[in-house]
Structure 1
Amino acid sequence: MNVKSRVKAGAVVGAAALGLGLLSSPASADPSPATDYRQLTGVGSDTTQHVMNGLSNSTAVTNAGGKIIASWNATGTATITTKATGCAGITRPNGSVLGVSALNRDLADGTGCIDFARSALGPVDASSTDLTWIPFARDVVTYATDLGSPLPPNLTTEQLTDIYECDSTEFPNAQPLLPHSGSGTRTLWLQALGMSEADVGYCVNDDIQPNDGVQIANGSQLMPYSVAQWISQGKGFADVPNRRGQSRVRSINGFAPITGTGPALALNTNFDAKYLHDVYNVVPTENLSDAVITETFLRSNSKVCRDIDTIQAYGFGVITRWCGDTTLKGER
């Protein structure tokens, strides 16, 4: 693959046309009231923010101290206050990578302001064991287009790679969109296409908020999308803004991203394996012995892993056998 220039001048649609002013989720999706600090505070991934909000308010994820989880969305106010004392003015982490980075900083500083990071990505560096990546569900990343798009509703990996490298002779008018740096969806998409950051073509608008179909402004545009997010955004949950717009998630290599219709709509866990991935809650390894961490996240009988109804309601697939596993350690 050739290294591409990433100059965007004249190649992308302006921010106003993409509706970037609509990106912030409503404040009610954060802990409400904001002083409801609870026992475990999490930040990070846009992909898993809503399912973690759902789990945070589930009667199944409680103990003698009440509701356990306080999960802060990826977007919203610039800063957040995660604990009653000593944790004011934390820059809100927008995405998996930034969430894990914030957890690492908190661990290094010893402040205890962040207890876990939401991540759609696993670790890449196994030389460190400071963090443990605990899987709790499964997702699919596919591409989405406008409902009336002339682009095919099924593309191959090779066709998508050509589009994102800006080399496509088959679809020369395609306008690819890509989430901002630090987004797990961005990383997963490029990995699935066999691309590095250097391979991203000059025609790609690569600074959008992930899983926001409103940003698809015309039929020539396409973007990677979490299928679980797309499903949950259409369910009318009070804490899940419908950011789908007129977008539709599409098939890759002949695999449909969803099964069923209406209330039975579900993620296709038999999708092409390159686009399937687990999602994680990342905790400091030294805290694995903490009783609240253990009962909430660890092993298949943990409160989160047993709340299958909430996980599936928010569009994710269940990973019963290895949910809550603690063997995966490392860094991003």
Structure 2
Amino acid sequence: MNVTSRVRAGAVVGAVALALGAFAAPAAIADPPATEYRILAGVGSDTTQDVVNALGNVVLNASGSKIIASYDATGSASITTRSGCAISRPNGSSAGITALATDVNDTTKDCIDFARSSRGAKTTGTLLTWIPFAKDAVSVAVRTDSALYASGAQDLTTAQLKAIYQCTTTTLNGVTLTPLLPQTGSGTRSFFLEKLGLTDAQVGSCVSQSVQENNGLALDTAGDIAPYSVAQYIAQVSGTVTDIHGATDLIKVNGTAPYNASTFTLNTAFSFNRDVYNVVPTAKLTDATISSTFVGSTSKVCAATSTITAYGFGTLGSNCGTTTQQGLN
């Protein structure tokens, strides 16, 4: 079934949603309810899953149908995005993008319409288009009860972080460092290593590389240090999403704080800023539903600025919804 056909199929769901007062902005949920097959199904990034879940509750079509079905990065082993579409759950930006590309290349499937991504395109090509919708940043988290958080260690340079993740710097403030990285396929991992000037192959042997991203509870020893989405941190600490920041705080990088302390908002001057994206098949950019939902600064997603900022992200203004970035994965 193509996207236009699913618009009509979603009208019944929309009528029920209107009866329940869907024009309110309910809190984000995890996967949509079973068998509630919305028009556009998306998978991928852990970093943006909560904000896109929330957008799924407030982005409606003219009939009042919820357009976006966003499936979390973690949970059950498989998900069913629409009738006859049971697929393995993609965990992370790269896994979501790969699943979308596979779906596009297999003409017998039509199970995924977009992928959430916290990184840009890696390879050239025209198969997929990365559509930015919000601003985030990546800092590093440490435990506040650790000497790593003591005066003088709350500000690290790019060079220092690179040495830590190459394992050439192994102690700081008298603490043995235990650097952590998110799982392979994480957009946060990919972006962070790129900012440090490292490839996966250059990561040192002292680094634990299997931590689920943006989970401060995983930092359970004094030397732990890990990259962390600033927007996710803000949303967790403020109680907008489940708070799993644990005993951590985000430190400065290159002398700049990742968030504004007075307003607890993203610091757009932070050196490790990034756009976050919804990735769609390039061939479907002209589809009326995909276009009205994602494309352009007046699209339904770009217009939902209060939802975007409520989840710790910054807005992009006229850069929201651009379609200039394309690639294969």
User: TM-score of the superposition, structure 1-length normalised?
Assistant: 0.86
Tell me if 1:157 matches 2:154: no
Alpha-carbon distance in structure 2 between the residues aligned to 1:290 and 1:65: 19
Alignment-mate amino acid for residue 203 of structure 1: C
1:182 to 157, 162, 185: 185
Provide structure 1 residue ranges, at least 5 long, that are not aligned to the other structure: 1-26
2:194 corresponds to: 191
1:49 corresponds to: 49
Higher relative contact order (CA 8 A, sep 6+): 1
Question: What SS class does the counterpart of residue 57 from structure 1 fall into?
Answer: helix
2:137 corresponds to: 140
1:252 corresponds to: 253
1:79 corresponds to: 78
Give the structure with the larger helix fraction: 2
Tell me if 1:325 matches 2:322: yes
Alignment-mate amino acid for residue 164 of structure 1: Y
Alpha-carbon distance in structure 2 between the residues aligned to 1:142 and 1:287: 35
Do the aligned partners of 1:42 and 1:69 also contact (CA within 8 Å) in 2? yes
2:115 corresponds to: 117
Alignment of 1:1-12 (within 5 A): none
Tell me if 1:269 matches 2:272: no
Alignment-mate amino acid for residue 286 of structure 2: S
Do the aligned partners of 1:61 and 1:304 also contact (CA within 8 Å) in 2? no
CA positional deviation for 1:63: 3.2
Alpha-carbon distance in structure 2 between the residues aligned to 1:158 and 1:143: 14
Alpha-carbon distance in structure 2 between the residues aligned to 1:316 and 1:44: 18
CA positional deviation for 1:169: 5.8
Question: What SS class does the counterpart of residue 42 from structure 1 fall into?
Answer: strand
Alignment-mate amino acid for residue 116 of structure 2: R
1:308 corresponds to: 305
Do the aligned partners of 2:29 and 2:54 also contact (CA within 8 Å) in 1? no
Do the aligned partners of 1:55 and 1:61 also contact (CA within 8 Å) in 2? no
Alpha-carbon RMSD: 1.4
Identity among equivalent positions (%) equals 51
CA positional deviation for 1:43: 0.1
Provide structure 2 residue ranges, at least 5 long, that are not aligned to the other structure: 1-27
Alpha-carbon distance in structure 1 between the residues aligned to 2:136 and 2:178: 25
CA positional deviation for 1:170: 5.4
Alpha-carbon distance in structure 1 between the residues aligned to 2:285 and 2:126: 12
Alpha-carbon distance in structure 1 between the residues aligned to 2:237 and 2:171: 32
CA positional deviation for 1:130: 1.0
Alignment-mate amino acid for residue 114 of structure 1: I
1:269-327, Cα deviation, whole Å (9 max, x unpaired): 1111xx11111000001111111101100000001001111111100111112100111
CA positional deviation for 1:34: 2.0
Instruction: Check 1:265–1:62 CA distance in 2 against 1; reply closer, same or farther (3 A cut).
Output: farther
1:2-30, Cα deviation, whole Å (9 max, x unpaired): xxxxxxxxxxxxxxxxxxxxxxxxx9511
2:207 corresponds to: 204
Question: What SS class does the counterpart of residue 223 from structure 1 fall into?
Answer: strand
> How many matched pairs?
295
Alignment of 1:213-224 (within 5 A): 213-224=216-227
Alignment-mate amino acid for residue 326 of structure 1: T
Do the aligned partners of 2:47 and 2:214 also contact (CA within 8 Å) in 1? yes
Alpha-carbon distance in structure 2 between the residues aligned to 1:144 and 1:46: 17
2:126 corresponds to: 129
Alignment-mate amino acid for residue 301 of structure 1: T
CA positional deviation for 1:65: 4.8
Do the aligned partners of 1:227 and 1:258 also contact (CA within 8 Å) in 2? yes
1:280 corresponds to: 277
Alignment-mate amino acid for residue 307 of structure 2: T
User: TM-score of the superposition, structure 2-length normalised?
Assistant: 0.87
The runs of at least 4 aligned residues of structure 1 exceeding 6 Å deviation read none
Question: What SS class does the counterpart of residue 222 from structure 1 fall into?
Answer: strand
1:115-173, Cα deviation, whole Å (9 max, x unpaired): 000001111222x2011110001110010001112111111111111111110165271
Question: What SS class does the counterpart of residue 94 from structure 1 fall into?
Answer: coil
1:180-212, Cα deviation, whole Å (9 max, x unpaired): 110111111111111111211111001110000
Alignment-mate amino acid for residue 42 of structure 2: G
Do the aligned partners of 2:139 and 2:258 also contact (CA within 8 Å) in 1? yes
